Amino acid sequence: MARMKFLCDADRCIECNACVTACKNEHEVPWGINRRRVVTINDGLPGERSVSMACMHCTDAPCAAVCPVDCFYTTEDAVVLHSKDTCIGCGYCFYACPFGAPQYPRVGNFGTRGKMDKCTYCAGGPEADMTEAEYVKYGSNRLAEGKLPLCAEMCSTKSLLAGDGDIIADIYRERVVTRGYGSGAWGWRSAYGETVSV
């Protein structure tokens, strides 16, 4: 099976936020929750770069390591998913995540956060694929339909890449070699313990 990853080529990202919008729409993500976001570094300064970031589906996912109820699991495609039925909304995964991926319906004291929500790599959850129950909790399951995550699929500059880690790394490497520069595979070191060497 493929080892699915995200790679955002920040030298192509134009901060259009279409990935954010597409994600919210595709999965009917509740108000206040953003599974994906675009962060601009050095905003307004020469050489600013924007990076689209969501759950990176880490190797040895730290969220899974700290979860008191063990609600995370990794699929055959190395996608990190979780069960909202088991989640108790303790917030530990938020503090463990290097990317701020876990989101909660409520920001409350006394741990009243509600069930955690995060990027599913458009792969749904533990419910049966492409069922109503799965859709309500986790959004659509494009992977089960043979499609890649929508955010990357509709990226107008093809900045955001999703797919097998080796393949998207090759694409990025080729781009960097061709154009002569690249600001790096953002987050790869924290997520996968390696980066794309060019």
Partner 1 sequence: MTIFTKMSRVIAVLALGLFAVIAQPQAAQAQDIINPTAESVTEDALMEALNGDAQVQGRVSIPDDLSSGLIKPANRGWADTHGGPVRTVNLIAVVGMIVLLVAFYAIRGKIRIDSGPSSERIQRFSATERFAHWLMAVSFIVLALTGLNLVFGRAVILPVFGEGVFGTLSAWGKVAHNYMGFAFMLGLILSFVYWIAHNIPDKVDMHWLSKGGGLFVKGVHPPAKKFNAGQKGIFWSVTLGGAALSFTGVMLLFPELAGGEAGWQLYQVIHGVVAAILTAIVIAHIYIGSVGMEGAYDAMGSGEVDLNWAKEHHSLWVEEVQGKSSDGTGDGSSRPGTQPAE
Q: Which residues are near partner 1 by CB under 8 A?
A: 10-11, 15, 17, 20, 32, 34, 37-43, 45-51, 53, 62-63, 65-71, 83, 85-92, 95-100, 109-111, 180-187, 189-190, 195
Cβ proximity to partner 1, 4 vs 20, nearer residue: 20
Per-residue HEC secondary structure of 115-158 comes to: CCECCCCCECCCCCCCCHHHHHHHCCECHHHCCCCHHHHCCCCC
Place of tokens 């259009």: 16
Closest distance of CB 9 from partner 1, Å = 12
Q: Looking at beta carbons only, is 3 or 62 nearer to partner 1?
A: 62
State in angstroms the smallest separation of the CB of 110 from partner 1.
Answer: 5
Name the token pair of 145.
Answer: 């339909």
| CB 123, min distance to partner 1, A | 19
Q: Which is nearer to partner 1, 2 or 81 (CB)?
A: 81
CB-CB contact of 154 with 22 (8 Å): yes
Tell the smallest beta-carbon distance from residue 161 to partner 1 (Å). 15
Query: Between 1 and 109, whose beta carbon lies closer to partner 1?
Result: 109
Least distance to partner 1, CB of residue 3, Å = 19
Strands 37-41 and 4-8: unpaired
> What Cα–Cα distance (Å) separates residue 1 from each residue in 38, 58, 117, 173, 179?
29, 16, 26, 22, 31
Q: Give dist(CA 194, CA 181) in Å, integer.
A: 19
User: What is the closest distance, in whole angstroms, from the C-beta atom of residue 86 to partner 1 in the complex?
Assistant: 4
Cα separation values, 161 from 4, 103, 168, 197, Å = 10, 22, 6, 17
Nearer to partner 1, 60 or 145 (CB): 60
Shorter beta-carbon distance to partner 1: residue 85 or 145: 85
- Nearest of 171, 198, 176 to residue 6 by alpha carbon: 171
